[in-house]
A and B are shown apart, each in its own frame.
Chain A
């Protein structure tokens, strides 16, 4: 028999789930603020160097971002499907949907890697490494500094989220959760939605405007 999911210091499972959810939301709030500093910096420099930023944004290829957006949104959907199965107590199917989501995450990262290698070839690099000849306006290198910081930090979150999905997915497939207690599945899903949500902000900021 598996051990009860109730930790010794909680009175009952409802309180424990409540605590876990609240903890996750607070954590997500502080995650958002981590990105906020970068977005604020982006806003400031976009204001200071609006022409250079617009041109730099045009210099990177939109279709990479677009395809990646589609991949992430789809993966968020498959995560939701997995959670839906967990609610019904179908651990196996949860595991399956989470595996599909992880595959999408890997596709996202692979595409990102191809895109990064393009930037390296073109010299579209941060700060003192910048050597992109088509665009020499002041501020252009700042765009790429922020580009790499924002997408890099987001990429780290993709890797973390993917790992969480994998671990929770395997546990679900092994029947660790029940219809009555599947909070970890919910929380994993929540984290993945955050990763998706942040990208939804990153995409227009970097590729479209």
Chain B
């Protein structure tokens, strides 16, 4: 490697969290460093993403032709349940908050670590334990209930729902502990100069997510436990045969699971707020609106669960109220979308890979959100309920937005985490394939749903054939795009060019230290005299040769 005489030749920071205090496996598995824990979460979640993706491809192949294609109906039922459970509980909920959140929140606050490092490690092991318990159930018989575990079917089915429910229960604890850690960290560990109006937008959004995690997860945990007890011992809580009320389950389930969709989307918004600023070289438009709308979403999200019960025998009045409340979420989301686009205005946009994913994100969020408003309209939902329209709606907004943000984050912070760059050209190729593939997978599903194809069936009448082929073709493009991303990122881990501390010339606080960061994050506690997204007029035209140094406490 060439020695670095000029200050603009990036050098690899010789002592960093990846190589000190030690590099052995044990030093990772027992670490209390938030950065290493974050990386472990990221690796684990990515593996589960691949597993869930494999199930998805099998589902799409089965649906390639009307009638049985490669499996029987029972296998299909198990497969889509596993796909949903793995993707939601093991990938989408933990990936951004527990992965990137752990890595970034302390860095963005100028802190040495999260408030409770041991609890943080415990959270990781609870995540792994929950995953193992759930996967045990999946391998030994699986479940055929769908990820929503609707009673009374889930309390009577003979498939292995109990371990899967227990696994999800344990995962919930992991989620609660991580959320608790972030809230306390944000309250008590901000570096001097970071008042509440200088908290980076990423942290704001993660903070709002954490509130939902702490308040909603216990209710779901209890609910899943009740289903497990009932399935194992027949206690009758949700079983109509013993006087129980199956609709009560739906209320409990959606009391968590509707807010849970914001556990997935708010962190995505967290990433996007940072990416928008960094790649348009501008301060965020309306910092407070973006920050507080996260809290607004978290709050309103608790009052919308009833929109999943429109066809459960709910009164017309309840349905109307829940429909209207649901639309408030749309308003808060629209505030964010407006501010992001206003930020772009007259910015000097760098169309790099993270920005490409931002564009994809915006499209999926807006389009998926509009279909959300459509399904929240009772009269329309009665037509679309339990069809592929709903499947397309939630994949667009939940998966589309979250995966776009996950990939944007992966590319934007790749140099921060690894100290190396990925190949930009390949990055764009991957992004285009992923975004196009995603559209080709799910737009046909909107059409299928509208024509009446129900969800969760392994076979269909022939008139749905063409659109199903289109959807499977799109899924293949998507999968190929993701494989490309995986391959070049793995190659870059070892052979990517050295990035230097701040290759994007970002003003985010987390870039004010070496990349990869030191084991203790900063040389000294930084003191901030500016906001987290403040770019100078010409900072992109004349990017500073090295990262702007924070002023240090004397």
Contacts and interface: CB of A to CB of B under 8 A. Distances in A.
A173 interface: no
A141 B187 CA distance: 47
A48 B115 contact: no
Interface residues on B, range: 35 or more
Interface string A4-45: 000111110001001100110011011101111110110011
Given A23-B180, A37-B252, A44-B245, A15 B237 contact: no
A145 interface: yes
A127 interface: yes
B163 to A, nearest CB: 20
Contacts of A30: 176, 180, 214-215, 217-218
Nearest to B115: A19
Interface stretch (B5-13, B220-228, B453-461, B531-539): B220-228
A127 B218 contact: no
A128 interface: yes
A129 B233 CA distance: 9
Contact of A41 (B184, B189, B214, B237): B237
Contact of B233 (A34, A41, A126): A126
B516 to A, nearest CB: 19
A41 B237 CA distance: 8
B219 A37 contact: yes
Given A9-B112, A31-B218, A38-B222, A19 B235 contact: no
Contacts, number: 110
Contact of A34 (B111, B187, B218, B234): B218
B215 A138 contact: no
Interface string B403-437: 00000000000000000000000000000000000
Nearest to A37: B222
A164 interface: no
Interface of A: 7-11, 15, 18-19, 22-23, 26-27, 29-31, 33-38, 40-41, 44-45, 48-49, 126-129, 138-139, 141-142, 145-146, 149
B183 interface: yes
A6 to B, nearest CB: 12
Nearest to B525: A11
B223 A37 contact: yes
A49 B237 CA distance: 13
Contacts of B245: 44-45, 48
B116 interface: yes
Contacts of B189: 9-10, 15, 19
A60 B112 CA distance: 55
Given A127-B230, A142-B236, A27 B218 contact: no
B20 interface: no
A100 B81 CA distance: 51
B70 interface: no
Q: Which of B180, B185, B217, B233 has the most CB of A within 10 A?
A: B180
B242 to A, nearest CB: 6
B248 interface: yes
Contacts of B545: none
B117 A9 contact: yes
Q: Which of A8, A126, A127 has the most CB of B within 10 A?
A: A127
Contacts of B529: none
B543 interface: no
B218 A142 contact: no
Nearest to B247: A44
A127 B215 contact: no
B218 A128 contact: no
Contacts of B115: 19, 23
Q: Which of B181, B187, B189, B218 has the most CB of A within 10 A?
A: B218
Nearest to B187: A22
Contact of A145 (B111, B217, B223, B235): B235
Contacts of B221: 34
A35 B221 CA distance: 11
11 contacts: A7-B117, A9-B112, A15-B189, A18-B188, A23-B180, A23-B184, A30-B180, A33-B215, A37-B222, A127-B237, A129-B234
A12 to B, nearest CB: 11
A27 B188 CA distance: 16
A34 B223 CA distance: 9
A49 B243 contact: yes
A15 B215 CA distance: 25
A33 B218 contact: yes
Contact of B184 (A7, A19, A128): A19
B381 interface: no
Nearest to B214: A30
The 3 A-B pairs with the shortest beta carbon distances in the complex, nearest first, are A127-B236, A127-B235, A37-B222
